[in-house]
Every structure is written in C-alpha cells, then in structure tokens.
Amino acid sequence: MARALELINRESYLKKLIAFKDDEMVKVITGVRRCGKSRLLKLFVQYLQSQGVTTDQIIEINLESYEFANFTCDELYHYVKQRVCKDKKTYIFLDELQRVKNFENAVNAFRVDFDCDIYVTGSNSYLLSSEYATYLSGRCLEIKVYPLSFKEFFSFANYTIKEKSSFEGEIEKYAVNEKGEPFTLKELLIRYIRLGGLPGIYRNTYDFDEQVQYIESVYEAIFNRDILERARITGDKAVGDPILLKRLATFLSDNIGSNISLSNISKVIANEDLIADKKNPSVNTIIKYANYLVTSYFFYDIKRYDVRGKNLLKSLSKYYIIDTGLRNYLLGFRSQDMGHLLENIVYFELLRRGYVVAVGKVGDLEVDFVATKNGQKIYIQVTQSMLSEDVISRELAPLRKIDDNYQKLVLALDCGLQKDYDGIEVKDVCQWLLN
C-alpha cells in the first residue's frame, strides 16, 4: 500500500542546517545514496519559507534530473547567475553536485560573485576529499546524514511511543501502531534490524517483497553508480569487476564487528565459485575495492585503540555496514548473529550522537567501543543477553580491566535483573537507543 510522500521531520539534522544558516561556509550534506539527503534539503526549504524567505530567493538544482544531467561547470554557473536575487540573499541547493565536472569552480564563483548561502549534497566522499577542501580554501562544512535511527524509525513506520510504569516503579516504553495495537520495543527493534533504516522503505509500502526490491535498487545504484561508474570516470582500471566487488561486500557483511585483515581476504574470495579464473585477487586490489566501499559510505571501518597505551593500532580493522537492511539483502535475510547486528546499530547511533568511536584493546581483551566526545569517554560492551553467568563474565571482563573513572556500560537486548556490577551499568539497548 503506497503512502503519501509527505516530508517527515528529521529534527537533529534540520537543527544543524538552521544553526549554520547564512554562514559563509558551504554546507556539504553527505551520506549513502537514498539516506534522505535530498528530502532534508526540502525540509530546510520549507523552514526558510516559514521564516519569510520568498520563492525567488531559492534555487534548487538536482543534478541527477535529466534537465541538468549533462550540465558543464560553465552552464551551471550561468543557470544560477540568471536566477539570483539582485537585492536579497539567494539560497542555492545543489543535489548530487559531484556529477558536474570541475563543479568547485562554479561553487567558488557563486561565493565570490553573489550574496548567497550554498548547500550541496553528494553520495560519496569525493565531495569532502582533501582536493575539494583545497578548492574551496577550506570553506566547507560537512553535515553527515545516516539512514533512520531507531527513534526516527517510529515516525516513518507510523508507530507511537507510549510509557507505562513497571512493577519496580520504573518508566518503561512501548509502542502502538495506527490501529492502536501494542508492540514491545524488542519486537520493533528486530523489525528495524531486519529491514534497516532507508527512509523510502517506510514511506512507500508495507509489502515485504516490495521493500526488498527497494533495498535491491539502492544496492544496485551504490555499486553501479557510486563505485563502478566512478572508478571508470576516474580511470581506475583496477576496480571494474562487479562480481569481485559483491563478493567482498558479502564477506564484509557476513563479518561485521569481526577483526578483518584485508591481506587475507583474497585467499577466501578465491575459493568462491563465482570467481571464474580461481586466481587470488591481489592484496592491493582488495584494498582498493574496500576503499571504494568505504568512500561510497556503504561500509565504515573502525580502528583499534590501546586503552592503556592510549594510541591507535594499525593492525586489523572492523567494518560495519551503513544499513542492516542492505546487509540482510546481501546475505539472503537469514537470521543469525544478533550480537554483531546490535553492535552495528549501536556504532551508528554513537556516530549520530557525535562521538568519535574506536575498538578498545585492553591487554588480550577487547571492548566493543571506546566512544569519545568533548574530552569524555564511554566504554561500551554490546550483547544480546546478560542472562547467563558465562556471558556476564565475558562482557564484564574487559571493562573491569580499565582503571580510569570514565563511564562503563553494557547494552543488552535481554538485561537480566541486575543493573549494576561494581559501577558497570547494564542498560536495555532499546531504551538507550530511544534516549
């Protein structure tokens, strides 16, 4: 069943745009394809109009539209020049700007020639490469947009959060749908993990097959347009095999949250039936493909941090996928490894909240996340359950080895009765995600 394409507020991102309104910096909105960048710009346009900005002060250009598909840098400049206001500030919105060759020349000219406020979007990190920052003399500001958080999922999927008192006197959250039917947060978190947070899934349909088709279309667009086409345009001949690219993405998806050595992956992939010549892809080729998966925002890599030595380690990385729906599509929607899926969700929630995140190494043990913001740290373990003594012992062990006074936290889907272990807090991951 189709739903109206209404604009649903994404408050945290909108607040950031409002905070930097009329700043001379070019606002660069980045994120994986179809995470909601274009509609965020439309939300901001609505906000501007509510504040008295007139239609003639707003120029919106979607470079993926056929109307602008073959625009040159010069044509983009003259198009805007013909439409800027002569006596009022003009707000310029450029969607998927990376499609225009030498676009930075036009953007620099806008800043110099017109009284304007500029907002641009892009689906890969080319927009914020060191070259781009140099082209704009450092006058750019990145606003990262991610797929829906668990909290945003409720609005997009038409659930309303309610509260009730538990037997222990604590306030507990639950949800109801449009019909008033109740659901536990755990039930909805599992649905959110299964389908992911691409906004279009919840805006367009409730049919599972159609939702899978939508996820597939996003996957194809990322791989064909943001990776393979970009490699072709830049002349990177080492990246052009869609089968190898998918095999690497599938391998990383199947191993989210695990320590990965890219140098060992080529041997694993060579054993797959889909590699026709059975030759090991070179380590450099694997590294290049992995880099493209990261710069298209499909995967994020996370480094390891020595808690005691207080330095980042070069050996091994962990990869988390931008959206669990994309991961489940690649792996055939099989149900497994809830612990690492929860890690994936928590990792991106920490990024949304502005933390710098690393994996913690404490001797021969690991802490899932060391999250740092404003000079403060939180050490976090993520687990499906805290109901067995073995799991409790395993999850607490690395936290107990850390001897500083920063917060230590275990996030669990099933918490058990005890909420504190000598200062180490245990929290319901659903409640934490909605905090």
DSSP string of 87-116, one letter each residue = SS-EEEEEETGGGSTTHHHHHHHHHHHS-E
The first and second tokens of residue 162, run together, are: 């309610």
Q: End-to-end alpha-carbon separation of the chain, Å?
A: 31
Contact indicator for 37, 145 with CB cutoff of 8 Å: yes
Position 5 scores a pLDDT of: 47
Q: Residue 395: which H helix or E strand, with range?
A: helix 389-400
Band (125; pLDDT cuts 50, 70, 90): low
Quick one: average pLDDT of 289-306? Answer: 90
Query: Side-chain half-sphere of 381: how many Cα atoms within 13 Å?
Result: 28
Asked if 153 contacts 192 with a C-beta cutoff of 8 angstroms, the reply is: yes
The pLDDT of residue 274: 44
Mean pLDDT of 288-296: 91
Question: Among residues 153, 163, 159, 118, which one has the least CA distance to residue 136?
Answer: 118
Q: Enter the tokens of residue 152.
A: 């945003």
Confidence of residue 387 (pLDDT cuts 50, 70, 90): very high
pLDDT at residue 133 is higher than 80: no
Contact 348, 322 (CB under 8 A): yes
For residue 258, give the DSSP letter.
S
pTM above 0.75, yes or no: yes
How many beta carbons lie within 10 A of that of residue 252, not counting itself? 26
Rounded distance between C-alpha atoms, residue 362 and residue 402, angstroms? 7
Residues with Cβ < 8 Å from 68, sequence gap 6 or more?
61, 62, 76
> Is the distance from CB of 29 to CB of 20 less than 8 angstroms?
no
Question: Residues 309-315: contacts with CB within 8 Å, 24+ apart?
Answer: 312/358, 313/361
The angle subtended at Cα 43 by Cα 37 and Cα 45, nearest 5°, is 105
- What per-residue confidence (pLDDT) applies to 8? 82
Q: Please state the rounded mean pLDDT for residues 145-168.
A: 90
The mean pLDDT value for 341-363 works out to: 95
**Spatial distance between the Cα atoms of 78 and 374, rounded to a whole number of angstroms:** 44
Dist. CA 295–CA 32, nearest whole Å: 9
pLDDT at 311 over 70: no
Q: Which residues contact 321 (CB under 8 A, 6 or more apart)?
A: 252, 253, 256, 298, 299, 327, 344
How many whole angstroms separate alpha carbon 120 and alpha carbon 118? 7
Look at residues 317, 194, 334, 190 and name the one whose alpha carbon lies nearest to residue 256.
Answer: 317
Q: Are 219 and 326 in contact (CB under 8 A)?
A: yes
Which of 170-179, 198-207, 346-355 shows the highest mean pLDDT? 346-355
Q: Indicate whether 279 pLDDT > 80.
A: no
pLDDT tens-digit series, residues 10-64: 999 999 999 999 999 999 998 999 999 999 999 999 999 999 999 999 999 999 8
Distance (Å, whole) CA 243 – CA 240: 9
Average pLDDT over residues 367-380: 95
Joined tokens for residue 435: 């905090």
> With b meaning 16 or more CB within 10 Å and e meaning fewer, what string describes 279-313?
ebbeeebbebbbebbbbbbbbbebebbebeeeeee
**Strand, coil or helix: what is 329?**
helix
Mean pLDDT in residue range 166-184: 85
Q: Which residues face 97 on adjacent strands?
A: none
CA separation for the pair 76, 232 (Å, rounded): 23
